Structure 1
Amino acid sequence: MNFKKKLSDILFLDIETIPQKEHWENLSSKEQELFTQKTLYQRKDEITAEDFYERAGIWAEFGKIICISVGFFTGLDENKMFRVKSFFGDDEHKILSDFKDLLESHFSKNQHVLCAHNGKEFDFPFIARRMIIHQIVLPKKLNLFGKKPWEVPHLDTLELWKFGDYKHYTSLKLLTHVLGVPSPKDDIDGSEVAKVYYQENNIERIVTYCEKDTIAVAQILLKMNNEKLLEDKNIIKV
């Protein structure tokens, strides 16, 4: 697709989110009422708000981030490497603050962009909303107020794959399959993250899953640009 952006100017990322409270019963009556109203359109009266609560992690108002995995290229051509780092844990404020520090110290220049799959609809706005909730001043790469569409420093592999077809949605799992990219969904998927966090208390498993998604997004961009895929020896986790 003749992609012109330098790979070293792109920060690839993925986030994992969960409901803020483990169970519906843990919500206050006000929170239950607000969640019921918020999800009315999605539920269409076919499922109760209580039964729907297991999906609360997809809304920034009722969910929280437990992992942000990032990846970036170093080196050129045959010598390029992909470095992966994760911010994770129970303290969402620290996760967001550490991620912001990375953006401001290493990815704050005009040529730098963020890239995720469905990032414009989910990852980027979710991070920004949670930062505002935590009263963290938005970093430049997430502060879109007053920006024109072509000034937004975000790439989205889902959007690139649409080629202008705005009604078309393709999951990361499907896209990796059709492009011959190693699947990141070989252990858990997004619907299981809350269970792994709350019931298994296995954050390391979630971090591994999140990092695989980040690597997959980078692989997709390479494939779209007719470049050689990364091998395991080219991926460094820090």
Structure 2
Amino acid sequence: MNLKVKLNNILFLDIETVPQEEHWSSVSKEMQTLFEKKTQYQRKEEFTAEEFYERAGIWAEFGKIICISAGYFVEVEGRNQLRITSFFGDDEHKILVDFKNLLNKHFSKASNVLCAHNGKEFDFPFIARRMIVHQIELPKKLNLFGKKPWEVPHLDTLELWKFGDYKHYTSLKLLTSILGIPSPKDDIDGSEVAGVYYKEKNIERIVTYCEKDTIAVAQVLLRFNNENLLEAKDIISVN
């Protein structure tokens, strides 16, 4: 694709989200009614709002972020090295503040961009909406008000793969498979995250899954640019 963005100017990321409450009965009556109205077209008549609540994590109004994994490139002895860090836990406010601090300290330059798979439709707006809910001032990279489309500092590997075909959707798992990239979905998938979080209470498993997605997005962008894929020794955790 001959992308003009330098690798070390990109922050790759992925988020994991869950419903704000484990059980429907813990949701206030007002929010239950609002959730029922919000999801009526997705549910149709196949599910009640209560049955559908396990999917509430995909909406920022009813879900919350439990993990943000971020990756960035550095060059070490002539090789690209991807460094991965994650913000996670039960305190969504702290996760968001810590992520904002990362953006402000290290990725606030005009040349810096954020990159995720389906990030423009999900990750970026979800993070921004949850920051507003928590009364956290948006960092520049997420505040898009008044920006022209070409001024938005976001890359989306799904959008790049569409090549202008807006009817086309390709999952990250499918994309990594056809491009010969190790699959990030070798343990759990997004539909299982809420169960792992609330029932297993295994946040470490979710963090590992989230980091694998972040690594996969970076690998996809390398393939788009006809560059060598990362080897295991090139991926470093800096948590």
Q: Is the TM value for this pair above 0.5?
A: yes
- Secondary structure in structure 2 of the residue aligned to 1:97: helix
TM-score normalised per structure 1? 0.99
Please give the alpha-carbon distance, in whole angstroms, between the structure 2 residues aligned to 1:63 and 1:21: 8
Per-residue CA distance 1:4-63 (angstroms, 9 max, x = gap): 110000000000000000011111111110000000111122211111100000000000
Partner of 2:147: 147
Please give the alpha-carbon distance, in whole angstroms, between the structure 2 residues aligned to 1:78 and 1:189: 35
Partner of 1:223: 223
**Cα shift at 1:79:** 1.8
Partner of 2:56: 56
Partner of 1:193: 193
Q: Does 1:202 align with 2:202?
A: yes
Q: Does 1:83 align with 2:83?
A: yes
Q: Does 1:43 align with 2:43?
A: yes
User: What pairs with 1:1-238 in structure 2 (closer than 5 Å)?
Assistant: 1-75=1-75, 78-238=78-238
Output the amino acid matched with 1:129: R
**Cα shift at 1:71:** 0.1
Output the amino acid matched with 1:92: E
Output the amino acid matched with 1:160: L
Please give the alpha-carbon distance, in whole angstroms, between the structure 2 residues aligned to 1:77 and 1:116: 27
Please give the alpha-carbon distance, in whole angstroms, between the structure 2 residues aligned to 1:227 and 1:80: 10
Per-residue CA distance 1:92-127 (angstroms, 9 max, x = gap): 000000000000000000000000000000000000
Per-residue CA distance 1:175-213 (angstroms, 9 max, x = gap): 000111100000000000000000001000000000000
Runs of 5+ consecutive residues of structure 2 not aligned to the other structure: none
**Cα shift at 1:78:** 4.0
Deviates further, 95-104 or 70-79? 70-79
Q: 1:165 to 1:76 in 2, by over 3 A?
A: farther
Deviates further, 38-47 or 177-186? 38-47
Q: 1:76 to 1:221 in 2, by over 3 A?
A: farther
Please give the alpha-carbon distance, in whole angstroms, between the structure 2 residues aligned to 1:28 and 1:86: 31
Please give the alpha-carbon distance, in whole angstroms, between the structure 2 residues aligned to 1:218 and 1:178: 15
Runs of 5+ consecutive residues of structure 1 not aligned to the other structure: none
- Secondary structure in structure 2 of the residue aligned to 1:115: strand
- Secondary structure in structure 2 of the residue aligned to 1:69: strand
Q: 1:209 to 1:63 in 2, by over 3 A?
A: same
Per-residue CA distance 1:122-181 (angstroms, 9 max, x = gap): 000000000000000000000001111110000000000000000000000100001111
TM-score normalised per structure 2? 0.98
**Cα shift at 1:76:** 6.5
Q: Which runs of 4+ in 1 moved over 4 A?
A: none
Output the amino acid matched with 1:219: Q
Q: 1:64 to 1:35 in 2, by over 3 A?
A: same
Output the amino acid matched with 1:68: I
